[in-house]
Structure 1
């Protein structure tokens, strides 16, 4: 995984170097190109995770066990993890297009989606001890 991180860092350095050589008139194209590479990497990572989860569910079903309950750890925290992963390109797009206002709007959207999901699942206002007890129930 660190090799891909290094690869992405090299891509960013190359993009910044190219911007220095080409000037500000090519900035939007360079940013779009870099964000496309980040998006491809995210798609690959998310695709791998979805495939792994589907394989685990198939194995669980083949063994006759019950699939994970709605509201399990993965479901509860999956949206938060995906939101944080997508926050980087969303923040960059917001800043590139609208400055600090775009950044604020992007993060308000991220927080709003996560708060809505937590409220919908009843996780937002449940006490910690109630959550711990309900996680152990069948």
Structure 2
């Protein structure tokens, strides 16, 4: 058995040796003790990894290296685009009805729906154009 952590390997060897000396009646206590040590080690490792991840993210944010969300953008961008579309829908509808009647209204709303559909489709992976060899995307 090759252990990555020599300290845990020593602890396991000591636990197995103690079991041999104390007998099977102490087996559950010895296993519980060893598992507590493993759990503390895992908690410490996980805590270090989480802290490192947050520190890297905070550093990247401080440097302004945050990347925009792939696809349709974040919630704010999508919500803002939808709100602007609805606000602009009122005058566009009025212009369409004034100039061409109900046909103008239908054309105006087809345009509004089309623009929103294209904006929403940016989030679909098959819709985005691929730029191979540019080195700018993952």
State the TM bucket, normalised to the shorter chain: 0.3 to 0.5
Larger radius of gyration: 2
TM-score by length of 1: 0.46
Relative contact order: is structure 1 or structure 2 higher (C-alpha 8 Å, sep ≥ 6)? 2
TM-score by length of 2: 0.46
Greater share of residues in helix: 1
